[in-house]
Amino acid sequence: MKPILEIEHVSKRFRLHHQGASYLSFRDRITNLFKSTDVTEDFWAVYDISFQVQPGESIGIIGRNGAGKSTLLKILSRITPPTSGRIISRGRIASLLEVGTGFHQELNGRENIYMNGSILGMKKAEIDKHFDEIVDFSGTENFLDTPLKHYSSGMQLRLAFAVAAHLEPEILIIDEVLAVGDAEFQRKCLKKMEDVSRGGRTILFVSHNLVAVGNLCTRGVLLKSGRVVAEGDVKDVIRAYQMDFEMNQNTLWQRTTTSRAPLWFETIKIQLNGDQPALSLTIDLALRSERKHSKGFLAFDIINSLGVTVMQAIPRIDPFIEYQPGLQNLEISIDLPPLVPDTYSLSPWLGAHNNETFDMVNNAVMFEINESPTKGRTFPHTYDHGSIVPPSSVLKYTK
């Protein structure tokens, strides 16, 4: 049987203009007529990628932020053309890079189902056929004639996923849409996607959530800096990714590029102190302000090696991070709960109270925990059952 998707030496180059503006104004064009000082740098978002997908297979594409996953999906979805190479597809491709594309706040639920379904490539007859199922799946039957702007964000999301879940292409491309919504809804989505893949459809799935990838996919492709570094059984590929993750473990992060934010992280350094189950993390931060900014505060996500955020620390800064030109230093301590042995990474976030993000560094630094959180016991801890082992005791035992 011929592969349903053949990806042959696909590369995509972006030209980075160092003036900062990603689009040209007419004035730039005219002034640039007379000088050729436009500094450009080539950046290969994906480089020479080749692999094949058999019909009915579900493939997980994993890699760190910036590894080229999203660009590859955009090329496969025909949103952006490759710079070289080609892709042969033998089936209808539908891509779900975002849920709710084309939703309009002024239209009601019913109208949005048709609009969104149609943009995703469904025929009106198909939407008619699945209409009741979609409404049922989203649980919005009482709001079908209400404009979308009166929906809660959770309801909008459920409606959006419900439409997407009823797409019936031969090849379905999904980008991390599951990273949103409450746990109950995420489970429902994963279940639906498992049904889809069991129904013989081909799925390409990109996610940071290695648990989801492991459950859903049979094969994996690991991308690193735009290149394929591992391909094969999904378990092996996940292991390769985790190994890579561990090898790059680093307790110091320093900014190498300039930032356009008014306030940003210059260096991030961590140190792990104490013993299980009373570990603490000391974080040394250097922040730099360039321009006036609103009062800032910090948040720290702690992520396990599967890419699941296990907790977030929001240290109180009294009063706030105020504007002050130049560097400011902070030392922060986080008391860690009893954690399952694993490699964890820390993603610090810097922003203002109005949800404005100044800077964030995904997986900036890492730390490893080898000790068991329940010392003296032989019960093995694995991240399959979560990352935190809360202290527990037996209060009463009646024989």
Partner 1 sequence: MQAQQKENIISSDRSVILNLSELWSYRELFYFFTWREVKVKYKQTALGVIWVVLQPLIMVAIFSFFFGHALKNDNFLGLPYPVFVFSGLLLWNFFSSSVNTAGNSMLTNAPIIKKIYFPRIIIPVSALLVSGVDFIVAFVAFVVTLIYYQVHVDVLALIVFWPLALVFVLLGTLGISCGLAALNVKYRDFRYIIPFGLQIALFVSPVIYPASNTSNPWVNYVLALNPMYAAINFFRVPLTGTSEMNFFLVMISSVSAIVFLLLGIYYFKKTEAFFADIA
By CB under 8 A, the residues from 2 to 31 that bind partner 1 are 4, 14, 22-27, 29
| Shortest distance in whole angstroms from residue 106 CB to partner 1 | 5
What is the Cα gyration radius of the chain?
24
Residue among 63 and 82 whose Cβ is closer to partner 1: 82
Q: How many residues bind partner 1 (CB under 8 A)?
A: 49
Binding partner 1 by CB under 8 A: which of 60, 63, 68, 82? 82
Residue among 205 and 265 whose Cβ is closer to partner 1: 205
By CB under 8 A, the residues from 174 to 233 that bind partner 1 are 200
| Shortest distance in whole angstroms from residue 279 CB to partner 1 | 42
| Shortest distance in whole angstroms from residue 286 CB to partner 1 | 34
Residue among 26 and 397 whose Cβ is closer to partner 1: 26
| Shortest distance in whole angstroms from residue 96 CB to partner 1 | 9
Binding partner 1 by CB under 8 A: which of 66, 102, 139, 214? 102
| Shortest distance in whole angstroms from residue 11 CB to partner 1 | 9
Q: Distance between alpha carbon 291 and the CA centroid of its chain, in Å?
A: 29
Distance CA 266, CA 217 (A): 38
Residue 97 touches partner 1, criterion: CB under 8 A: yes
Amino acid at 128: D
Span near partner 1 by CB under 8 A; candidates 120-128, 206-214, 223-231, 249-257 = 120-128
| Shortest distance in whole angstroms from residue 70 CB to partner 1 | 11
Within 10 angstroms of residue 291's Cβ, the number of other Cβ atoms is: 10
| Shortest distance in whole angstroms from residue 31 CB to partner 1 | 13
Contacts of 361 (CB under 8 A, 6+ apart): 253, 265, 268, 347, 348
129 closest CA partner among 114, 146, 144: 114
| Shortest distance in whole angstroms from residue 66 CB to partner 1 | 16
By CB under 8 A, the residues from 314 to 343 that bind partner 1 are none
Binding partner 1 by CB under 8 A: which of 46, 49, 59, 87? 87
By CB under 8 A, the residues from 262 to 281 that bind partner 1 are none
Residue among 30 and 183 whose Cβ is closer to partner 1: 30
By CB under 8 A, the residues from 41 to 80 that bind partner 1 are 55, 74-80
Residue among 92 and 191 whose Cβ is closer to partner 1: 92
Looking only at the bridges linking them, the beta strands covering 342-352 and 365-369 are antiparallel
Distance CA 204, CA 241 (A): 18
The DSSP H or E segment spanning 75 is: helix 69-76
Contacts of 88 (CB under 8 A, 6+ apart): 5, 6, 8
Residue among 24 and 330 whose Cβ is closer to partner 1: 24
Residue 111 touches partner 1, criterion: CB under 8 A: yes
Cis peptide before 81 (omega within 30 of 0): no
Distance CA 198, CA 192 (A): 10
Largest CA distance in the chain: 92
- Estimate the crossing angle of helix 124-138 against helix 153-165, to 10 degrees: 130
Distance CA 233, CA 248 (A): 23
| Shortest distance in whole angstroms from residue 56 CB to partner 1 | 9
Binding partner 1 by CB under 8 A: which of 48, 168, 170, 244? 170
Contacts of 266 (CB under 8 A, 6+ apart): 254, 255, 286, 287, 288, 327
| Shortest distance in whole angstroms from residue 114 CB to partner 1 | 7
Span near partner 1 by CB under 8 A; candidates 101-109, 184-192, 264-272, 389-397 = 101-109
178 closest CA partner among 97, 92, 79, 58: 97
Residue among 114 and 383 whose Cβ is closer to partner 1: 114
User: What b/e readout covers 7-44, taking b as 16+ CB neighbours within 10 angstroms?
Assistant: beebbbeeeeeeeeeeeeeeeeeeeeeeeeeeeeeeeb
CA distances from 83 to 15, 17, 58, 68, 78 (A): 11, 18, 26, 14, 12
Residues that bind partner 1 (CB under 8 A): 4, 14, 22-27, 29, 55, 74-91, 93, 95, 97-98, 101-102, 104, 106-107, 111, 114-115, 118-121, 123-124, 147, 170, 200
